[in-house]
Chains A and B, each alone.
Chain A
Amino acid sequence: MATAPLRKPDANEPLLAPEFMLKLEQLEILSRKIFIGRMKGERRSKKRGESVEFADYRNYVVGDDLRFLDWNIYARLERLLLKLFLEEEDLNVTLLLDTSRSMDWGKPHKGLYVKRVAAALAYIGLINYDRVSVYAYSDALTHEMRGVRGRRLVSQLIRFLENVPLEGPSNFTAVAKRFAVRFTGKGVVVVLSDFMDKSGYADGLRYLLSRDLDLYVIQVLSPEEIEPGLAGDLKLKDVEDDDLAEVTISKPLLDRYKANLQAYCAELRDHCTRRGITYLFTSTRVPFDTLVLAYLRQRGLLR
């Protein structure tokens, strides 16, 4: 039988346990894309506060700032070469959280799981002086906390995460479109969702890709969705849009459901992989610290 959705599962438990936070101290969020791709800037000098890192030379052209001429070179070679320094830029870490009602489900609870992962990523970002933005969305961007930076805001962010309600239907396409319009920066974007969206995920991901972001997609499903414990003649009601599906649970139907789920996930993974999006599937049964400490590091999101 299906488990009743847990409204507030272990609500008293903090999203991040202190000892877990200690482990997170070691980690930092990587942006693979910026490293390998643009070479436009790096964020290694964040403690110094200014960019002094040498990157390259180029020939001087009229109008360049004379302050960046390398006089030593000129002394040796009598050529005017301009020193190019790496642009100093802090990393934008953006977490897109699916907080639609379908996330309010499962045992272990999907919404809580997502919040915990988000909290862990945000914490890592904050302690590394990344610019962390958290957007909660359902059919629109409902709650947001933008541009948070610095360790002192950790508790505030966690409180924000705790207080985000899980409600409303999900419409990832609309949200992604809206987000792409509003979000101007670059950086790492992590989408946490179950991707059980009737409007599909392809359009939404395309909107996000158009912004040239380092995209991570983490699909979170509850065990009940992976192995449904349903039986009998049922009228299945969608928790988000009250859509009804009359099914008579039979073994073939269950087999078919599982095959469909697998195909759906595989399709999402292929879709992501083909577009340079890092995809990670997880069941809420996987302890979230394992996910954060092991899987996300394997995937290269964390170091």
Chain B
Amino acid sequence: MSFLNPYFAAAVAAVVIPALLILYFLKLRRREEVVPSTLLWKRAVQDLQVNAPFQRLRKSLLLFLQLTVLGLAVFALARPIIQSTATEADRLVLLIDQSASMNTREADGTRLEQAKEQAVRLVRTLNRRNAGWRSFLTFGVAQTRTQVMVIAFAERARIVSPFTTNTADLVSLIKQIEPTDGPTDLREALERAEAYLAPPAMTTDKTPVPAASGARLILISDGRIAHLDDVVLKSGTLEFLRIGDTADNVGITALRTQRSYERPEQLSVFLTVRNFGPAPVATDVSLYVDGTLALVRSVRLAAPAAPSAAPARDAEPPAEEGSSASLSFDLPLNKAAVLEARLSREDRLAVDNRAWAVIPPPRKLRVLTVTEKNYFLDSVLRGLPLEEFPFATPAQYEANAAQAYEADGASRFDVVIFDKVRPARLPAGNFLFLGATPPLPGFPEGTADENFALIWWEETHPLLRHVALDSVIVAKGLTLPVPREAEVLIEGPRGPVLARYAAAGRHCLVLGFAVENSNWWSKPGFPVFMYNAIRYLGGGAEVADGPLRPGETLRFPAPAGIESLTLTRPDARTEKLRVDASGTAYYGNTDRAGVYAVDGGLPGRDRFAVNLEDDWESDIAPPPGPLTVDRQAVGELDAIRTATPEVWRWFVGAALALVLFEWWVYNRRVML
């Protein structure tokens, strides 16, 4: 504890306390009362003085009480403040967690609000001594002032304020910290802090290089921090101020949608709901299509078997039996829509009670076949449920590959089949090569081979499901010199025959022989393989983006000629996005979960759903035990309880209580 106004209070005390003492030692002006005889009174007084040593004390008890009251009042005048223990260092870094779990509603406000409040209280206890007009009382004695830096971090760290001593600025900046739905990663925050803490690399010979300063880093968080073991603390000391203590949360930890291949108007929704709270719960899971309730289902979830104390995020905490449920829904949806899943149960963390998915319109695949002439392919494709399957000769394809078959550097077709053709260039897209290799670096042409059977194939792979290759004899084919990262699915006697290879937006399936050069065309396995391959390649395009997490960058392709796009965030704010030279607008500030949509983007590519889908952040129960960073337990700071660090109220209150006590004592004294 220290004082803001010590000199003023000392001056007041120097005046007031002697005044009280003088008043006390001045002869009491006694009321005169005539009595028949003072004989017995004098005796009584003498007796009391002789017999009761406490009488003097008793007399001075009032003085003592009054002195104490005065002292307390003077103390209050001195404006005592509670200084946190974090003030000794002259440089202090506040690391404020703004990740998704900090949105948990505690008894009063969210965890982030509490963290901000604590940060403000911490900051307010600093640099009070010398502030303002009172500084003249210190006769200009310079005191070391604590420089404070504030970093807010979720997945990314943001410097809210560099080192400063300006408390007012710090407070207003801290108050402007906004919640995000991102995961927690302390590493970047620490790196940024250390970048500021490190002594300047370049110094003039006049400037002394400050010794590694004892800066203190105070982490204000709920402790749900991933990868803590990876964090290395290079300089300074880290302390932890723990926020939050509730654990009640049920969250949607995964939402996936898929259109049925055969019936694209049928949408399958897969949903994982998990209970992180300490008690079993029941909740309704509702599906909304464009805001309209479509389906509701109830789900009961048991409490997790053990308190969630997974030490590291890498070991994804296994969902205990019963505490999570996977639900699948089928609903007809023959248009583009935004699907929203909601949990009806109110819990402490709201952000994971909703998840969104942007559903593309139902679409049949479009398959381009580049071949001279292939009857087998023609007949197989005819039997598949495709939107269209045009054929092009290699000459036609090469002639206007860029114009007719490509858009935005990507193939216009969902799948392109190259039959015995190695094209000169390959746009982004999905390709099936038959008897040829893709023109990709690291994928040289294969070595010719004749008359071999297939030795091994990956039976469980979706591509080869229900495909029998036992009796396939290849008359003429290639052994594929596949790159290391390719996935080999079929092997012949001298090497891979079928490989899946994805690189730079190109997803290739390379078969080492043409159909007609084998007896495969006569087997029932061939159309099944074609079905699997087209579905596999074509379906992949749809889910290529995968689920987006907060903090990931959105990429909005823009129609040609448009310079800027208007983005509407989930919190209804709008932002202008500039379209760059390649015709794409990027948006990286996806800190909240929800649907991000742009006006005037390419249809189908103008909306993205960002979901939390994070077991780690949804598990809001604060980790038990001390936080370990860099394999060392981190000391914990106590939360500052009072809103203002100044505690004069306590002293005034105590003084009031003492006044009451004094009144009582006085009354007792004169009581008959």
Q: Residue A5 contacts which of B34, B39, B43, B668 (CB distance < 8 angstroms)?
A: B34
Q: Is B47 an interface residue (CB 8 A)?
A: yes
Count chain A CB atoms within 10 A of each CB in B40, B42, B48, B58 and give the residue with the most.
Answer: B40
* Contact indicator B36/A105 (Cβ below 8 Å): yes
* Contact indicator A239/B35 (Cβ below 8 Å): yes
Q: Is A245 an interface residue (CB 8 A)?
A: yes
Residue in B closest to A222 when the chains form the complex, CB atoms: B36
A2-B39 contact given A231-B670, A253-B48, CB 8 Å threshold = no
Q: Residue A234 contacts which of B30, B44, B51, B672 (CB distance < 8 angstroms)?
A: B30
* Contact indicator A256/B38 (Cβ below 8 Å): no
Give 1 or 0 for each of A68-108: 1 = CB within 8 Å of chain B CB. 00000000000000000000000000000000001101100
Bound: A260/B48 CA distance, A: 11
Bound: A295/B269 CA distance, A: 113
Residue in A closest to B35 when the chains form the complex, CB atoms: A236
Cβ contacts under 8 Å, A235 to chain B: 30-33
**What is the CB-to-nearest-CB distance from A49 to chain B, in angstroms, rounded to a whole number?**
46
A232-B31 contact given A222-B36, A252-B52, CB 8 Å threshold = yes
Q: Residue A256 contacts which of B34, B35, B48 (CB distance < 8 angstroms)?
A: B48
Tell me the residues in window 172-229 of chain A with beta carbons closer than 8 Å to chain B beta carbons: 194, 196-198, 222, 224-225, 228-229
Cβ contacts under 8 Å, B31 to chain A: 232-235
Tell me the residues in window 8-53 of chain B with beta carbons closer than 8 Å to chain A beta carbons: 28, 30-45, 47-48, 51-52
* Contact indicator B37/A240 (Cβ below 8 Å): yes
Residue in A closest to B31 when the chains form the complex, CB atoms: A234
Cβ contacts under 8 Å, B40 to chain A: 196, 225, 257, 260-261, 264
A234-B39 contact given A249-B670, A251-B671, A260-B47, CB 8 Å threshold = no
* Contact indicator A233/B28 (Cβ below 8 Å): yes
Give 1 or 0 for each of B430-447: 1 = CB within 8 Å of chain A CB. 000000000000000000
Residue in B closest to A257 when the chains form the complex, CB atoms: B44
Q: Is A254 an interface residue (CB 8 A)?
A: yes
Residue in A closest to B671 when the chains form the complex, CB atoms: A251
Q: Residue B35 contacts which of A233, A238, A254 (CB distance < 8 angstroms)?
A: A238
Residue in A closest to B30 when the chains form the complex, CB atoms: A235
Q: Residue A252 contacts which of B36, B41, B43, B55 (CB distance < 8 angstroms)?
A: B55
Q: Is B669 an interface residue (CB 8 A)?
A: yes
Q: Is B335 an interface residue (CB 8 A)?
A: no
Interface residues on B, range: 20 to 34
Give 1 or 0 for each of A242-278: 1 = CB within 8 Å of chain B CB. 0111111111111011001100100000000000000
* Contact indicator A250/B34 (Cβ below 8 Å): no
Q: Is B523 an interface residue (CB 8 A)?
A: no
Q: Residue B36 contacts which of A194, A244, A250, A253 (CB distance < 8 angstroms)?
A: A194
Cβ contacts under 8 Å, B38 to chain A: 236-238, 243-245
Q: Is B382 an interface residue (CB 8 A)?
A: no
**What is the CB-to-nearest-CB distance from B218 to chain A, in angstroms, rounded to a whole number?**
56
**What is the CB-to-nearest-CB distance from A118 to chain B, in angstroms, rounded to a whole number?**
19
**What is the CB-to-nearest-CB distance from A253 to chain B, in angstroms, rounded to a whole number?**
6
Residue in A closest to B58 when the chains form the complex, CB atoms: A250
Bound: A106/B33 CA distance, A: 14
* Contact indicator A238/B37 (Cβ below 8 Å): yes
Cβ contacts under 8 Å, B42 to chain A: 245
**What is the CB-to-nearest-CB distance from B671 to chain A, in angstroms, rounded to a whole number?**
5
Cβ contacts under 8 Å, B39 to chain A: 196-198, 238
* Contact indicator B35/A237 (Cβ below 8 Å): yes
A250-B45 contact given A233-B31, A234-B32, CB 8 Å threshold = no
* Contact indicator A2/B35 (Cβ below 8 Å): yes
* Contact indicator B34/A237 (Cβ below 8 Å): yes
Q: Is A154 an interface residue (CB 8 A)?
A: no
* Contact indicator B48/A230 (Cβ below 8 Å): no
Count chain A CB atoms within 10 A of each CB in B37, B44, B45, B671 and give the residue with the most.
Answer: B37
* Contact indicator A256/B47 (Cβ below 8 Å): yes
**What is the CB-to-nearest-CB distance from B672 to chain A, in angstroms, rounded to a whole number?**
6
* Contact indicator A248/B37 (Cβ below 8 Å): no
**What is the CB-to-nearest-CB distance from A252 to chain B, in angstroms, rounded to a whole number?**
6
* Contact indicator B34/A232 (Cβ below 8 Å): no
Cβ contacts under 8 Å, B47 to chain A: 256, 260
Q: Is B59 an interface residue (CB 8 A)?
A: yes
Bound: A232/B33 CA distance, A: 11
Cβ contacts under 8 Å, B33 to chain A: 2, 230, 234-237
* Contact indicator B669/A250 (Cβ below 8 Å): yes
Interface residues on A, range: 35 or more
Count chain B CB atoms within 10 A of each CB in A222, A232, A237, A238 and give the residue with the most.
Answer: A238
* Contact indicator B41/A245 (Cβ below 8 Å): yes
* Contact indicator A246/B36 (Cβ below 8 Å): no
Bound: A221/B169 CA distance, A: 81
Bound: A4/B32 CA distance, A: 12
**What is the CB-to-nearest-CB distance from A148 to chain B, in angstroms, rounded to a whole number?**
30
Q: Residue A196 contacts which of B36, B55, B59, B669 (CB distance < 8 angstroms)?
A: B36
Bound: A33/B168 CA distance, A: 103
Cβ contacts under 8 Å, B669 to chain A: 248, 250-251
Bound: A264/B35 CA distance, A: 17
**What is the CB-to-nearest-CB distance from B565 to chain A, in angstroms, rounded to a whole number?**
88
Residue in A closest to B52 when the chains form the complex, CB atoms: A252
A251-B672 contact given A234-B32, A237-B32, CB 8 Å threshold = yes
Tell me the residues in window 559-597 of chain B with beta carbons closer than 8 Å to chain A beta carbons: none
Cβ contacts under 8 Å, B671 to chain A: 250-251
Tell me the residues in window 137-172 of chain B with beta carbons closer than 8 Å to chain A beta carbons: none
* Contact indicator A250/B44 (Cβ below 8 Å): no
Cβ contacts under 8 Å, A2 to chain B: 33-35
Tell me the residues in window 5-26 of chain A with beta carbons closer than 8 Å to chain B beta carbons: 5
Residue in A closest to B47 when the chains form the complex, CB atoms: A256
Cβ contacts under 8 Å, B34 to chain A: 2, 5, 236-237, 239
Tell me the residues in window 622-672 of chain B with beta carbons closer than 8 Å to chain A beta carbons: 668-672
Count chain B CB atoms within 10 A of each CB in A197, A245, A253, A264 and give the residue with the most.
Answer: A245
* Contact indicator A231/B44 (Cβ below 8 Å): no
**What is the CB-to-nearest-CB distance from B489 to chain A, in angstroms, rounded to a whole number?**
105
Bound: A34/B565 CA distance, A: 137
Bound: A110/B35 CA distance, A: 13
Cβ contacts under 8 Å, B41 to chain A: 236, 245, 247, 257
Bound: A263/B32 CA distance, A: 27
A260-B44 contact given A232-B670, A234-B30, A246-B30, CB 8 Å threshold = yes
* Contact indicator A225/B36 (Cβ below 8 Å): yes
Bound: A246/B35 CA distance, A: 12
Cβ contacts under 8 Å, A251 to chain B: 668-669, 671-672
**What is the CB-to-nearest-CB distance from B599 to chain A, in angstroms, rounded to a whole number?**
87
* Contact indicator A106/B36 (Cβ below 8 Å): yes
Cβ contacts under 8 Å, A105 to chain B: 36
Bound: A34/B298 CA distance, A: 119
* Contact indicator A102/B37 (Cβ below 8 Å): yes
Bound: A196/B671 CA distance, A: 26
Bound: A235/B33 CA distance, A: 6
Bound: A34/B239 CA distance, A: 105
Bound: A177/B39 CA distance, A: 22
**What is the CB-to-nearest-CB distance from A193 to chain B, in angstroms, rounded to a whole number?**
11
Closest 10 pairs (CB-CB, A-B): A196-B37, A235-B30, A102-B36, A257-B44, A245-B38, A256-B44, A238-B38, A105-B36, A234-B33, A245-B41
A-B contact list, 28 entries, CB within 8 Å:
A2-B33, A5-B34, A102-B36, A103-B36, A196-B36, A196-B40, A224-B36, A225-B35, A225-B37, A228-B35, A232-B31, A237-B38, A238-B37, A239-B34, A244-B38, A246-B30, A247-B41, A247-B44, A248-B59, A250-B58, A251-B669, A251-B671, A252-B48, A254-B672, A256-B48, A256-B51, A260-B44, A260-B47
Q: What residues of chain A have their CB less than 8 Å away from a CB belonging to chain B?
A: 2, 5, 102-103, 105-106, 110, 194, 196-198, 222, 224-225, 228-240, 243-254, 256-257, 260-261, 264
Q: What residues of chain B have their CB less than 8 Å away from a CB belonging to chain A?
A: 28, 30-45, 47-48, 51-52, 55, 58-59, 668-672
| Extra contacts besides A235-B33, A237-B33 (6): CB < 8 Å | A233-B31, A237-B34, A238-B35, A240-B36, A249-B672, A253-B44
